[in-house]
Amino acid sequence: MVTEKQLPQKPFIKDEYTGDQLLNGVFFPHNDKLYGQLLKNLPMAVYTCNKEGRITYYNDLAVKLWGYTPDIHNDTLKFCACFKVFLPDGTFLPPAKTPMAVALQTGQSFRNTTAIVERPDGSTFYASVNIDPLFDEQNNISGAINIFQDITDYKLTETALRESEAKYQQLVQALPAALYSTDAQGCITSFNEAAVTLWGRRPVIGRDVWCGSWKIYAEDGSPLPLDTCPMAITLKEGRAVRGVQIIIEREDGTRRYVAPHPTPVFNSKGKITGAVNMLIDITELKQSEQALLESEKTLQKKVEERTAEIKKKNEELTISEEKYHKMIEEVEDYAVLLLDKEGIIQNWNKGAEKIKGYKEQEIVGKNFRIFYRPEDQEKKLPEQLINEAITNGKAIHEGWRVRKNGATFWGSIVITALHNDFNEVIGFSKVTRDLTERKNAEDKIKQYASELEFQNKELQQFAYAAAHDMKEPLRKIQFYNTFLLDAEMQLPDKERNYLKRSIAAASRMQHLIDDLLTYSKNTGETDKFEPIDLNKIVADILVLHNDIIEETGAAVEIAPLPDVMGIPFQLAQLFDNLVGNALKYHHPQRVPHITISCEKVNGTDMREYYPDTKNDFYRISITDNGIGFEQEYSNKIFEMFQRLHGREDYPGTGIGLAICKKIVQNHHGFIHATGEFNQGARFNIYLPCD
């Protein structure tokens, strides 16, 4: 490793044999002391080596560039005193491979060879090396001299220029506009890809002149010789050309409108050295201008046609307005008024005079509030209707109004806001219709409906009482007939058959009365809603059906059920009927399997059944694997006394599912059934969440 050691400065030493002077070991004639002094004071670093590569001389500038004073008596220091040497690409260069070593081995000279030198402190500099071998009188290599200098600033400037050039090229290529340059004779020297795209071809640098286009045309479409194009004018006259438009044609025949911007380039002496041209593609702009021009012509034509139409319509409108006003004046079934924006009456027709009782001269100029009862005026109802018409464009209202004689009538009114061309309210139209007869009829209907509802409740109570009273006679009929049938007396087969049929008929009648009583009870509104835990309801129902569940080996799966608002006994009846049906109509060749599940359904998915609903629903599904039914009967099974199976196979009155439907309706929900014959059935109950 090279170490720093400051040696005494004894540049010239007298050789004891020849008397010649040695300059740091290099022989110089004794009369060349001046030459050695010249080397020492050169503004460039200098060092010499003998033919073995030992350093024999160096000047002060070399020491400064090396960053230390080398020990020339160090046998390991050969060819170069640099701490480390690298090629420009950063490759390390051992001393035996340095240019000095090559020069001593081959006699080759080196001119302006660049290397990177690293000093002991780690700093580096770019060195420009110039080496010449030295020869003795027999023309044998006796050594070499290396004159080198620090060119770091030059290299940095060169690198900066190269990077700047690269950035410039990147910028030029990135420009969306076509850009190219030429020399003073017009030969193209560079271009970007946008220019290639615009021209439709890639010109040959140094051969194509003035422009890279296939053909050029003037703005009017006439051919334009290349030597008269804007770029040629710029180079010939030394001035920028602006405001010119040309048409370029590609090899494929397509054309583009272009706005060229050629600018001359001068050197420091003011001599033109070339030009730069930016080509802006204005094809779309020209097309838009053409389209706009055509549109303006079309619009002008339409304006003229529309003006003629408006003139004609105005003439027709004048006639129509006269007819309209005359018609309005003659209308007697409607009061048609025109109000200003403060509600002051502006005109009056015959219908208004007939309905309200005022003559035109009595009412025009007064506020329409005069038609409202004192209590409505106190509530500011007229002002509210005006504000509603201003806000919504229209106000519709029905209520009692006052005639001139103080009598009241039921009026239906529509107040419509009238606007000017600036959408400002300038007044209102008011149409009133006398609906007193309809109002009186509606009141009578409501009264009749109330009476009918009262009578229905009485009839319902009577039917309930009558049905309840019938149960006792039926019970006695069953009891006595059964007694006779079981008595130890010999009855003919015919009489015994009559007794059995009488007992069965009485039993069916009793079941029918029970179901009718249940249906009647579920129809009435005698109970109020309360929170109900459906899990408890279903658990109680399964206890009631425990015998048939054990008998059939039925499997019942129940998912967690929600709490709902409802009538406890009705919901118990609902699940009792549905679970009972699932068990009763089980498939004879399968073990019954019943599933009770629940999920929440978004209200928007229920619009098919409830178009205006905003509530979510619980969908409670009761699914079985029983005998099922054809899907075409899915609605019929909920009707009263509807049966899909014979009474001999499946007993019942045909009211059970009708009761279920009524219960679900009482709870503001609905029930839906799906089935497949011999595969099973599914009953979906939808109950509101809130």
| pLDDT, tens digit (0-9, with 9 covering 90-100), for 35-48 | 566 667 778 899 99
In a domain, 92, yes or no: yes
pTM of the model: 0.34
Within 13 Å of residue 204, how many CA atoms lie on the same side as its CB?
A: 3
In a domain, 324, yes or no: no
144 and 49 in a common domain:
yes
- Compute the distance between CA of residue 117 and CA of residue 426 in angstroms, rounded to an integer: 93
Mean pLDDT computed over 123-138: 91
In a domain, 319, yes or no: no
Place of tokens 């439907």: 661
Q: Which residue would you say has higher pLDDT here, 300 or 472?
A: 300
Whether residue 170 has pLDDT greater than 90 = no
445 and 427 in a common domain:
no
Q: Which residue would you say has higher pLDDT here, 486 or 384?
A: 384
Q: At what angle do helices 493-523 and 436-486 cross, to 10 degrees?
A: 150
Q: Which residue would you say has higher pLDDT here, 450 or 687?
A: 687
Task: Check if the beta carbon of residue 46 is closer than 8 Å to that of residue 145.
Answer: yes
- What's the confidence (pLDDT) of residue 115? 92
DSSP-derived 3-state class of residue 537: helix
Q: How many CB atoms lie within 10 A of CB 470?
A: 16
428-483 pLDDT, tens digit per residue, is 988 888 888 888 887 887 777 676 666 556 555 555 555 555 556 666 676 656 76
Confidence category of residue 515, pLDDT binned at 50, 70, 90: low
645-682 pLDDT, tens digit per residue, is 544 445 555 677 888 888 898 888 888 899 888 889 99
On the 0-12 / 13-18 / 19+ scale of CB atoms within 10 A, 510 is middle
537 and 511 in a common domain:
no
Mean pLDDT computed over 389-398: 90
Asked which of 54-58, 115-119, 154-158, 233-237 is least confident by mean pLDDT, the reply is 154-158
- What's the confidence (pLDDT) of residue 690? 75
Question: How does the average pLDDT of the chain come out, rounded?
Answer: 80
Residues whose CB falls within 8 Å of the CB of residue 456, separated by 6 or more in sequence, listed in order: none
State residue 495 phi and psi, 5-degree precision. Answer: -70, -40
- What's the confidence (pLDDT) of residue 499? 67
Q: What is the DSSP string of 38-85?
A: HHHT-SSEEEEEETT-BEEEE-HHHHHHHTS---TT-TT-BS---SEE
- What's the confidence (pLDDT) of residue 646? 46
Asked which of 23-27, 378-382, 425-429 is least confident by mean pLDDT, the reply is 23-27
- Compute the distance between CA of residue 684 and CA of residue 607 in angstroms, rounded to an integer: 16
535 and 473 in a common domain:
no
500 and 422 in a common domain:
no
Rounded to 5, what percent of the chain is helix, strand, coil?
40, 25, 30
Whether residue 619 has pLDDT greater than 50 = yes
531 and 512 in a common domain:
no
Hey, what are 463's tokens? 């039917």
Task: Check if the beta carbon of residue 541 is closer than 8 Å to that of residue 573.
Answer: no
- What's the confidence (pLDDT) of residue 187? 92
Asked which of 13-27, 196-210, 557-571, 638-652 is least confident by mean pLDDT, the reply is 13-27
Whether residue 617 has pLDDT greater than 60 = yes
Asked which of 170-179, 284-293, 314-323, 587-596 is least confident by mean pLDDT, the reply is 314-323
In a domain, 161, yes or no: no
- What's the confidence (pLDDT) of residue 439? 80
- What's the confidence (pLDDT) of residue 309? 80
485 and 413 in a common domain:
no
Q: Which residue would you say has higher pLDDT here, 164 or 375?
A: 375
Confidence category of residue 158, pLDDT binned at 50, 70, 90: confident
- Compute the distance between CA of residue 64 and CA of residue 16 in angstroms, rounded to an integer: 32
Domain enclosing residue 550, as ranges: 527-688
601 and 533 in a common domain:
yes
Asked which of 12-16, 405-409, 549-553 is least confident by mean pLDDT, the reply is 12-16
In a domain, 553, yes or no: yes
207 and 192 in a common domain:
yes
State residue 651 phi and psi, 5-degree precision. Answer: -65, 155
In a domain, 450, yes or no: yes
Whether residue 164 has pLDDT greater than 70 = yes
622 and 473 in a common domain:
no
Task: Check if the beta carbon of residue 230 is closer than 8 Å to that of residue 277.
Answer: yes
Residues whose CB falls within 8 Å of the CB of residue 210, separated by 6 or more in sequence, listed in order: 182, 186, 226, 227, 229, 231, 232
Kindly list the distances between the CA atom of residue 142 and the CA atoms of 26, 64, 95, 105, 358, in Å, as whole numbers in the listed order.
Answer: 10, 27, 19, 11, 141
Residue 412: enclosing H or E segment and its boundaries?
strand 408-419
Confidence category of residue 25, pLDDT binned at 50, 70, 90: very low
Q: Which of 256, 403, 246, 247 is nearest to 335 (CA)?
A: 403
Domain count, the chain: 5
531 and 506 in a common domain:
no
- What's the confidence (pLDDT) of residue 9? 37
- What's the confidence (pLDDT) of residue 49? 92
- What's the confidence (pLDDT) of residue 28? 43
Strands 334-340 and 425-434: antiparallel
Which residue among 478, 498, 517 closes a domain? 517
Mean pLDDT computed over 525-535: 79
The number of helices, as runs of H, and strands, as runs of E, in the chain is 17, 26
Which residue among 434, 469, 503 closes a domain? 434
Say what percent of the chain tops pLDDT 70. Answer: 77
Q: How many CB atoms lie within 10 A of CB 85?
A: 22
CATH code at 533?
A: 3.30.565.10
CATH code at 185?
A: 3.30.450.20
Q: Which residue would you say has higher pLDDT here, 463 or 127?
A: 127
Q: Which residue would you say has higher pLDDT here, 316 or 682?
A: 682
461 and 346 in a common domain:
no
On the 0-12 / 13-18 / 19+ scale of CB atoms within 10 A, 115 is buried
Whether residue 506 has pLDDT greater than 50 = yes
- What's the confidence (pLDDT) of residue 489? 60
Which residue among 498, 517, 536 closes a domain? 517
Q: Chain-centre distance of CA 435, in angstroms?
A: 53
In a domain, 310, yes or no: no
Q: Which residue would you say has higher pLDDT here, 399 or 511?
A: 399
Confidence category of residue 217, pLDDT binned at 50, 70, 90: very high
Confidence category of residue 120, pLDDT binned at 50, 70, 90: very high
Whether residue 526 has pLDDT greater than 50 = no
- Compute the distance between CA of residue 222 and CA of residue 242 in angstroms, rounded to an integer: 20
Strands 425-434 and 530-533: unpaired
In a domain, 308, yes or no: no
Whether residue 67 has pLDDT greater than 50 = yes
Task: Check if the beta carbon of residue 128 is closer than 8 Å to that of residue 112.
Answer: yes
- What's the confidence (pLDDT) of residue 316? 61
